[in-house]
């Protein structure tokens, strides 16, 4: 079974994906980390994230080991990632990696922006997570502060809104809900409640 989880930044995709993966005994791919690793490579090499040729070369060179780096979560990387992920050649270069991961038995959980629409349009389970921007900013700011990074809610909210606009507005594989996705609004849900709601839905898809 393939479980595809999409939604905007800080809607709770990662937490839910990890819990579902553990529950079903599947591997989990955070596809945002793939795009972040491309941006990290470019920044480390002093290259410009808008340089499409350099970005595509970086996307082809990314390895699974790079996805574990804590430096992928830096805010400068978040901003550059939103730019590189709009480059069609970068998305094409990362598609094969994602599809191979998804189709390896016995199943997989992938989270991102275009999993249910582009990467795995035939996934048995598609979840689309949403939450109010203010709540997402509060969560992301707390996550940053917990890691010792100073963060102001209002500034994080502005970043999230800019990123939402870029992720939804780009022409290649924009953030959008698959017609057959189950929408889960997590604004009022803690991680346990979101997990319970997702499991209840999955039971209806794969009894
Ligand atoms: O989920 P995240 O914050 O780690 O994602 C980082 C960026 O990567 C975000 O700006 C959107 C982009 N992304 C994407 O375009 N497609 C995906 N499947 C996953 C992430």
CA distance linking residue 139 with residue 39, whole number of Å: 23
Between the two ends of the chain, the Cα-to-Cα distance in Å is: 12
Strands (E), 33-151: 108-112, 125-130
Helix (H, G, I), strand (E, B) or coil at 131: coil
Q: Is 111 in the pocket of ligand 1 (CB under 6 A)?
A: no
Confirm if 140 and 164 have CB atoms less than 8 A apart: no
Pick the closest to residue 58 from 35, 77, 76 (CA basis): 35
Q: Are strands 182-185 and 28-30 parallel, antiparallel or unpaired?
A: unpaired
Among 5, 13, 71, 81, say which to mutate for ligand 1: greatest number of ligand atoms within 8 Å of CB.
Answer: 81
Q: Is 170 in the pocket of ligand 1 (CB under 6 A)?
A: no
Q: How many CA atoms lie within 13 A of 102 on its CB side?
A: 25
Angle at 185 between CA 181 and CA 187, to 5 degrees: 160
Pick the closest to residue 198 from 184, 178, 179, 180 (CA basis): 184
Specify the pLDDT at position 152: 86
Q: One digit per residue, pLDDT tens: the chain, 207 residues?
A: 999 999 998 999 999 999 999 999 999 999 999 999 999 999 999 999 999 999 999 999 999 899 999 899 888 998 899 899 999 999 999 999 999 999 999 999 999 999 999 999 999 999 999 999 999 999 989 988 998 888 888 899 998 998 888 888 888 878 889 999 999 999 999 999 999 999 999 999 875
Distance 207 CA to ligand 1 centre (A): 31
The pTM of the full predicted model, rounded to 2 decimals, is: 0.92
Beta-bridged to residue 82, according to DSSP, are: none
Cis check: omega of the bond before 106, within 30 degrees of 0: yes
CA distance linking residue 49 with residue 39, whole number of Å: 7
Long-range contacts of 47-50 (CB under 8 A, 24+ apart): 49/80, 49/83, 49/84, 50/83
Give the residue, by CA position, lying nearest to ligand 1 atom 11: 82
């Amino acid at each position: 079974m393939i479980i595809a989880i999409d939604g905007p930044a800080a809607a709770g995709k990662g937490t839910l994906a990890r819990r579902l993966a553990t529950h079903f005994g599947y591997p989990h791919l955070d596809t945002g980390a793939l795009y972040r690793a491309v941006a990290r490579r470019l920044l480390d090499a002093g290259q410009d994230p808008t340089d499409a040729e350099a970005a595509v070369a970086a996307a082809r060179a990314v390895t699974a080991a790079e996805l574990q780096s804590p430096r992928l979560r830096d805010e400068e990387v978040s901003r550059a990632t939103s730019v590189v992920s709009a480059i069609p050649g970068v998305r094409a270069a990362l598609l094969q990696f994602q599809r191979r991961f998804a189709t390896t038995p016995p199943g997989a959980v992938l989270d991102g922006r275009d999993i249910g629409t582009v990467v795995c349009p035939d996934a048995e389970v598609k979840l689309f997570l949403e939450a109010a921007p203010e709540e997402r900013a509060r969560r992301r700011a707390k996550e940053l502060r917990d890691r010792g990074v100073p963060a102001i809610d209002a500034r994080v909210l502005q970043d999230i809104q800019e990123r939402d606009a870029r992720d939804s507005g780009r022409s290649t594989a924009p953030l959008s809900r698959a017609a057959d996705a189950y929408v889960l609004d997590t604004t009022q849900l803690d991680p346990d409640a979101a997990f319970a709601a997702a499991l209840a839905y999955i039971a209806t898809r794969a009894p």
